[in-house]
Structure 1
Amino acid sequence: MSGAVRPVTGIVLAGATLRAPLTCVGPLVPAIAHDTGLSAATAGLLTALPLLIFAAVPAVVLHTVHRGAEQLVRLALAALLLGIVLRSMPGSSGLFAGTVVIAAAIGYANVLLPAIVRGTVPAARIMTVTAGYIAAMTAAAAVSSGVAVPLAENLPGGWRSALAAGTLLVIAALRAWPITGSAPMPRPAARVPMPWSSALAWQVSIFMGLQALGFYTTLAWLPSVLHDNGISPRAAGFALFAVQILGLAAINAMPWLARTVSAKRRLAVAASAVEATGFLLLALAPGATPLAIGLLGIGSGACLASAMAFQSERATDAGDATALAAMAQTVGFALAALGPVLLGVLRDHTRSWGPALLALAAATALQAFTAAGAGRQKTVRH
């Protein structure tokens, strides 16, 4: 493999591990709860806990990044492998301990990959490489959620073996890391603090947070919304799969559509508006559900690619990209963790999904305004 290809290959394979070890859990929760005796609330922690850890990890990353981002990603991948094995071991204690290790490892890589892209990829290719690893992440996540139950039904060991299957992807990523054949990314001379005083950093962070809130709320509640509207559980599950596949298509299209800074900014705003329209249709026009699913998939995929690219493009160097990504993901995953809970509370209080979906549409409309700010051709100043 040539030196020109290997850096991108390593980044893409590392990106592919950032969601798949978590999306395989949801379809297996009924079997896990049945076999381990966990209550529904306790089993729900398996999906909520990672988001809280994602919000806490970035501050720790900034205290260790001076050791070298590429080396830390390699260690994160090794920890991810260990966490997947631990999670699949007998007993419920390993299930939760493994989930914590997995989430911490993914949280590290989430923050460091934008910095590595900023430090090793020419500025003109940042969106292309970012879209590449986000596309790999989305594709692996969709496949992981889709094959989890069939693997559990056909492998010895059931759901534990299905969870352990994620080790194969991580091993492939480890084999492609560290990145060789490219100029090494310079290590930060000093720890760079999160840019809390920068208005631009807040716009990038809130855009990251609102798009994450929309995605994880959709992941948590879309099947329930559709089921309450008279759609079968199987069809509702397929709709969630369709959202992820359409998102993948939008991510793959971004490098060709967003060739200039102004185009990237307009696309982020337009994608937010498209996603908001999808939520509005679900709330006000249940008969237009197929169109709503299409809009949600396309909008969320394009917004995710934009949110991750902004964390690299709005920074002056790799050190600043680490600090900006840390801030954006601290804010982003804190909002994402709150979203499904607050929407569920609103639904229970009103006994209808309409007000909850309208609130989600309003939040996504606000996302469009933050996209306009986050997409400006400026860099964050501390």
Structure 2
Amino acid sequence: MASPHHLLNTSWTSHRLSPLHYEIEHEAGSVLEPTSLLANKAALDTYAARLRDHLTNSLAVAGAPALQDDPATSPTLGALQACTWETLSSLSFLDANAQDQGDKPAGLLITLTYENATYKAALLAAPGPGRAQDQQQKQKEQKKRKRGRPSLKSSTITTIPASTHLPLLLTRFPKPLRETFISFLSSNFDTYVSTLRIPSPALCGALGRYVESLTPAGENADADLEDIVREMHLTLSFAPPIAPSLKALNISIPRDRIGAFLHGSTSSSITPGSSVLSGLSAYLSKHLAMELGLSLPAGEATGSATGPSSTLVGGYVRLTRVACAGFVVTGEGRLKIVAKGESGEGDERNRGALRGGEALLRAVLERAVMGIGFDKETQDEVHI
């Protein structure tokens, strides 16, 4: 199995994936192969070979002119040397050998190795309750075996329909190669792919979970937080009705103000995401005299005596990017987690960064599982 450390220190583009549908061949009288794609190595090897053929044929015939337009996919990459599909052992960055749900893999890692470059994609499984579908899958296997239709190869071989849900797709590909890869998934698994959009409250919720996971509470908690996060950079985007001449505003929060910013709300009854939103609103109100009316829960103030309601601006002002020394995440689904894969016993700072990175990744994964990531108006959707 592949280590989850492959997910670190890489700039990913996030997508949401509908269930992957496929067929498993079964010979009468033999033991039924696992129907989950994550548990069937033979199926993974088969699809790896298919993807390699798909890529080499596309590059040699139809894709060459388009690829030449992108410097990242120029002929200097060389030939495709290897295409591997491996299961990911876990999403735990601190214990890469641990598995989240017993012997269930956490997802797939697809690696494309060219002569002069290596590209990766990861398909992550739903945590916890999302994997309960495996039990339902097992209960349906007997029915599927009876419904299976004979294969052309032999009257004793039937094909059994199956599916695996891997809701979050992370890609590290140049655009033409990513489009070819998504086309392969759509045609081979009848799946629907969409860019994962992360709205302001979800971005703040992910930031809140990252901060909560860094270090335990204590007298040195803020100092440890500053060591890991360092400076924080935020991007606010404005809709034309609010600021026709201002599309975005970049805000940098210095290291010595990080603690005050993240703990801007002292109420214990609100969620981490709304706490960060209130901290951001209070910070801007104090230092820039800006009342933005971000999407706060009703009745929560932003630092002024008469805090604006959640409908003041109504979504015209959005938090679209959060970046610090430990991670980068954007509303368009860009994600990067920064940490050393190996952490020594005395390297508590890096252990905190690994804990925070895992919490952030799980927050993005849960966003994909929610099913709200599809944006019907985006032009990045691909469905074949």
- Shorter-normalised TM-score: what interval? under 0.3
Q: Which has the higher strand share?
A: 2
Which of 1 and 2 has higher RCO (CA within 8 Å, sep 6+)?
1
Query: TM-score, with normalisation over the residues of structure 1?
Result: 0.22
Q: Which has the higher helix share?
A: 1
